Structure 1
Amino acid sequence: MPWGQVSPSVYETGRVVSLAPWLTGHERRIAFLLDTQRTDGGWGLPHDGYALVPTLSATEALLSVLVRAESPDEEEPAQPQPAEDVADAAARGLSRLRELLTGGTWASPPGAAAQPDMPAIELIVPSLVERINRHLGDLGTAALPRDGLPLPASMDGTRLALVRDLLRSGARPPKKLMHALEIGGAAAHGFAGTGPESTGAIGASPAATAAWLGDRAPADPSTPARWYLETVAAMHDGVVPVAYPLTVFERGWVLSWLSRAGISVPVPPEVVLSLTAPLRAEGTATAAGLPADADTTAGTLYALALLGAPHPPDPLWNYETSTHFCTWKGEDGFSTTTNAHVLEAFGEFLATGAAARGGDRDVRRYEATIEKVGGWLLEQQRDDGAWTDRWHASPYYATASCALALERFGGAGRGADAAGRARAWILRTQRPDGSWGRWDGTAEETAYAVQTLLLTGRPPEPEAVRAAARGRDALLRGLSMPDGAHPPLWHDKDLYHPSAIVRAAILAGLHLIETAGTHENKE
């Protein structure tokens, strides 16, 4: 699957239902939304505010189906007649949204609660609340409430209004905004500041592409944007993922997980080519339609160094700030894992000896960068020994990323000490069944915990080896589970599960346990 393996997205599928009802598989997408609704009326993970965005999207999509059924347009393709279960699901979604928006995480003022740091959330939430409230005013059914939803205490819609003004002005907005073009409303339809990429996508997003095409089948039946949507929907039985394709991101991470764990895998030359070809002076992007970013660039460079094809990490200096490296220019906040990957990219390139070809001046600059990033990461470690990050819901991913980078390139004293504190936190948080996880034990988070235990503190401490061995069954269960059974933990517009990346992490954990010789072979 050269475009990558990633779970279906409730948010993105809901946007396609609402914005492109003409697209093949419309009824299948509606059924997906009905099938994935939880008993509490919400969608997505029910923890810590993560349900808000998918529940808004799914509820708005179902309301759009009801609105179209009440006011059919002869020029539109015929819509499926909404069954009672569509109206019932929408009503339950509205009830859950009122609970989310008036109590708990999202009702708190900014800074008072740990709200999920999801891309474009400050634009997505007001845009969906606006659409839902408009639908409630348009619908004639008495089964649904007439009073609209409130905005969260942390959002007032000001930024959304500014972005829409920018789109209407015809100015060219930051490229990263194209990933969430669907928030633009009418200004997104046919927006002249963008166009289909080589994949046919707008912003590497089905939702953004649907918004750009509009709610009628395109007049040009051959437009690549239409066939991007048809292709993605066909790949996933009608439903669609978020952030697609993710070719470069997936390959860099898979190769890094496997190689770092010592798994010997033959790497076809075309895979190496697929990592080197997109590299530019500004770095590389996850996919066409997204801006280059420091995280994907660093992961790609690190993988190339491990594969014996080191490339100078100089593009990463585009993202250097006075204290750390940003994921992209103008980033709000910061990412610990991006900086961990930057540290590995510079450190591994220096370790290959290839830096010497540029002379002492380059070597000194690389060494200074390593010192700077390592020092910043040390400052971000929590008192309990863990790290957290904006690109993943689990501290086990962030902790593995930071501890492994610091153990290798953070200095024999400070880096090793930080990794030791991370191992102590992981040992304290292992579950009785041997797994690890933020909310429940998962194979993915267990894989990150095992890697931290066995790839730092070389040779691994006996206690760490025994704890890793207790996680083996959780890893094996994870390999046997269908992709859809894994909880999505990676941040985009909603949470997603990059299947190949997670499988590689699980395999890496199992290989490390096997090579540590901590159990009898049961196979």
Structure 2
Amino acid sequence: MSGSPGAATGVSEAARSGAASAALVEQDPATELVAGMLAEPAGRSSPSVYETGRLVSLAPWLARHEERIAWLVDRQRRDGAWGGPEGYALVPTLSATEALLAVLDRGDHGGVGRERIARAVHDGLTALYDRLTGPAAPPPPDLPATDLIVPALTELVAAHLDALRDRPVDVPARWRGAQPLPLPSGMDRARLDGVRLLHAAGRPLPEKLAHALEVLGPPARRAAGFGPVGPGTVGASPAATAAWLGAAPDPDEPGRGYLEDLVRQYGGPVPCASPIAVFERSWVLGTLSRAGVPVRVPAVLTDDLRDALGPAGAPTGPGLPADADTTSATLYALARLGQPVDPTVLRPYDTGEHFCTWPGEDGASVTTNAHVLDALGHLLPYGGPAAAWVDSAVRRLTGWLLDRQETDGSWTDRWHASPYYATCCAALALADHGRTGHARHAVERAARWVADTQRPDGSWGRWAGSAEETAYAVQTLVAAGHRPGSPLAAAIGRGAAWLSTADAADDGPELWHDKDLYRPALIVQATVHAARRLVRDGGRDA
């Protein structure tokens, strides 16, 4: 395996130029997915309310500022909040409300209109004070840096309200002199204060903090130990990059160029993380290959995946630390495509019981360990000096995943809002590489839970039926095996019928965890195409 100065992006000059994509003919969904990855070599995911709000607040100098303001106002829900259901609304609602308060404070609303913005602020504050903060609020989900972001944003909201309290035309009387937003139950400022004190003392901060550098506030500007890498990003985050740049950076600043490219690509709003090429390519290619989907993969894609693997593995994006999840997905995709790589790059993540996503991780991830089991299980037949360690790890991972199955047969995880994703990842890994009868029994239990939770219309979903979650459910059912005429076969049939009419390319729900919920479009499309292929073929190519 090898690394290179630009390896973290997983983007080569050939891919950047698009020359390889010109040879592709769009004949089927899989070929179109490959063409899409070549056409947008940084990858693509849904725009983020959180990150877009941070750009409105931190970077009013950036092109398309007015479009971002209008986008935020247009995305507000009828109940005044932004973002997903339940506790998932907290971070995006705080970000959008603070951003629009900053617009009122500065007066740079452009043609959006002060009254419209003031009304959105009022509704956002109402949602925050009445439902989303305090002891009775729904618990915040386990999103990256939530315990840093929430106290940092509540602090900013309080400062804006103080600054605007004598301007009743902008802020209704209810909010003049309002007490600071209370934090949700179980959350405090301790970690945020600790991080800021470390930085103020000149102590090094964890590498992964680059992704949320904006929580430092003004000291984030040119913060020592951080800086633009790859295409100019800090921490693979638009918000962190804007915070590091500060006010009105020079036009030739690499970080500014990165942000300008992003807002041009997305039309104003921005995603949670970019680039995500290694993450996107490894998931798409591994998913298609596993389902037996025939697809011509240009050498530029596999070359980029190999180049992304450094001594510590592969990161999701430049400025982020390498992690076991992306590394294992990359190893798995390469092995399935006939290019196996030495698996010992995963050894530093082995805790002896399970694999951490990165060293020092709080908690553990079911899906990371399922992906490691996929990679090591698929590479075990290749043998080599690491065969004994790989064999031991496969056995340990099998037992670890079995121990974390819920009593109803499902799994849940910290990187995705839907249990259908975690259940699919665990069930497929155990079906392919679990060594015991207990593994087969666990997959059957998972399939029964899936069948029992099918919606009347044939779909599956945590909050509503979605193509993505239905595809995970169908793959889990197929992995369990079924007899013609059995309840599982009937569930597959209903799911396949629903999935045949679903549009995987539409604006489906955002279910993936970052600082905000997001939707990696091509990964979702690959998942749906793989499920359709499995149903058509009546089985799986393990």
Q: Does TM, scored on the shorter chain, surpass 0.5?
A: yes
1:423-434 equivalences under 5 Å are: 423-434=447-458
Runs of 5+ unmatched residues, structure 1: 73-77, 107-112, 518-523
- C-alpha distance in 2 between matches for 1:125 and 1:211: 16
User: Could you tell me which residue of structure 1 aligns to residue 163 of structure 2?
Assistant: 138
User: Could you tell me which residue of structure 1 aligns to residue 102 of structure 2?
Assistant: 64
- C-alpha distance in 1 between matches for 2:484 and 2:240: 47
Change (3 A) 1:173 1:478: farther
Q: Could you tell me which of 106, 117, 128 is aligned with 1:97?
A: 128
User: Could you tell me which residue of structure 1 aligns to residue 241 of structure 2?
Assistant: 209
User: Could you tell me which residue of structure 2 aligns to residue 364 of structure 1?
Assistant: 388
User: Could you tell me which residue of structure 2 aligns to residue 405 of structure 1?
Assistant: 429
Quote how far apart the aligned CAs of 1:120 are: 0.3
1:313 aligns with 2:362: no
Residue 330 of structure 2: SS of its match in structure 1? helix
User: Could you tell me which residue of structure 2 aligns to residue 520 of structure 1?
Assistant: none
- C-alpha distance in 1 between matches for 2:214 and 2:143: 16
Change (3 A) 1:460 1:312: farther
User: Could you tell me which residue of structure 2 aligns to residue 492 of structure 1?
Assistant: 514
1:46-65 equivalences under 5 Å are: 46-47=85-86, 49-65=87-103
- C-alpha distance in 1 between matches for 2:259 and 2:74: 22
1:506 aligns with 2:525: no
User: Could you tell me which residue of structure 1 aligns to residue 28 of structure 2?
Assistant: none
Code of the residue aligned with 1:331 in structure 2: it is E
1:96-495 equivalences under 5 Å are: 96-98=127-129, 99-102=131-134, 104-106=136-138, 115-139=140-164, 140-142=166-168, 143-144=171-172, 145=175, 146-147=177-178, 148-214=180-246, 216-218=247-249, 220-351=250-381, 353=382, 355=383, 357-358=384-385, 362-457=386-481, 462-479=486-503, 482=506, 485-495=507-517
- Please tell me whether the aligned partners of residues 118 and 491 of structure 1 are also in contact (alpha carbons under 8 angstroms): yes
Code of the residue aligned with 2:473 in structure 1: it is A
- Please tell me whether the aligned partners of residues 482 and 488 of structure 2 are also in contact (alpha carbons under 8 angstroms): no
Code of the residue aligned with 1:18 in structure 2: it is S
Code of the residue aligned with 1:265 in structure 2: it is V
User: Could you tell me which residue of structure 2 aligns to residue 13 of structure 1?
Assistant: 52
Code of the residue aligned with 2:150 in structure 1: it is V
Q: Which has the higher contact order (CA 8 A, sep 6+)?
A: 2
1:370-397 CA-partner distances (Å, limit 9, x unpaired): 1111111100000000000000000000
Code of the residue aligned with 1:467 in structure 2: it is A
User: Could you tell me which residue of structure 2 aligns to residue 88 of structure 1?
Assistant: 119
- C-alpha distance in 1 between matches for 2:466 and 2:230: 36
Residue 7 of structure 1: SS of its match in structure 2? coil
- Please tell me whether the aligned partners of residues 406 and 419 of structure 1 are also in contact (alpha carbons under 8 angstroms): yes
Quote how far apart the aligned CAs of 1:476 are: 3.4
Quote how far apart the aligned CAs of 1:411 are: 1.3
Quote how far apart the aligned CAs of 1:171 are: 2.5
Quote how far apart the aligned CAs of 1:477 are: 3.9
User: Could you tell me which residue of structure 2 aligns to residue 32 of structure 1?
Assistant: 71
- C-alpha distance in 1 between matches for 2:128 and 2:464: 24
- Please tell me whether the aligned partners of residues 135 and 185 of structure 2 are also in contact (alpha carbons under 8 angstroms): no
- C-alpha distance in 1 between matches for 2:421 and 2:521: 15
Code of the residue aligned with 2:160 in structure 1: it is H
- C-alpha distance in 2 between matches for 1:236 and 1:292: 26
What is the aligned-residue identity percentage?
52
Quote how far apart the aligned CAs of 1:81 are: 7.4
- C-alpha distance in 2 between matches for 1:35 and 1:478: 26
Change (3 A) 1:459 1:344: farther
Residue 178 of structure 1: SS of its match in structure 2? helix
Aligned length in residues: 492
- C-alpha distance in 2 between matches for 1:187 and 1:490: 30
Quote how far apart the aligned CAs of 1:79 are: 6.0
TM-score in terms of structure 1 length: 0.91
Quote how far apart the aligned CAs of 1:278 are: 1.3
Residue 277 of structure 1: SS of its match in structure 2? helix
Quote how far apart the aligned CAs of 1:460 are: 8.2
Quote how far apart the aligned CAs of 1:459 are: 7.6
- C-alpha distance in 2 between matches for 1:473 and 1:228: 43
Residue 411 of structure 1: SS of its match in structure 2? coil
Most deviating of 158-167 and 147-156? 147-156
Residue 88 of structure 2: SS of its match in structure 1? coil
Quote how far apart the aligned CAs of 1:322 are: 3.3
Code of the residue aligned with 2:61 in structure 1: it is W
Quote how far apart the aligned CAs of 1:36 are: 0.3
- Please tell me whether the aligned partners of residues 444 and 478 of structure 1 are also in contact (alpha carbons under 8 angstroms): no
Residue 217 of structure 2: SS of its match in structure 1? helix
- Please tell me whether the aligned partners of residues 66 and 82 of structure 1 are also in contact (alpha carbons under 8 angstroms): no
- Please tell me whether the aligned partners of residues 465 and 516 of structure 1 are also in contact (alpha carbons under 8 angstroms): no
Quote how far apart the aligned CAs of 1:166 are: 1.7
1:187-239 CA-partner distances (Å, limit 9, x unpaired): 1011121111011000000000010111x211x32111000000001000011
Change (3 A) 1:292 1:89: same
- Please tell me whether the aligned partners of residues 26 and 238 of structure 1 are also in contact (alpha carbons under 8 angstroms): yes
- Please tell me whether the aligned partners of residues 443 and 477 of structure 1 are also in contact (alpha carbons under 8 angstroms): no
- C-alpha distance in 1 between matches for 2:311 and 2:112: 52
- C-alpha distance in 2 between matches for 1:280 and 1:397: 28
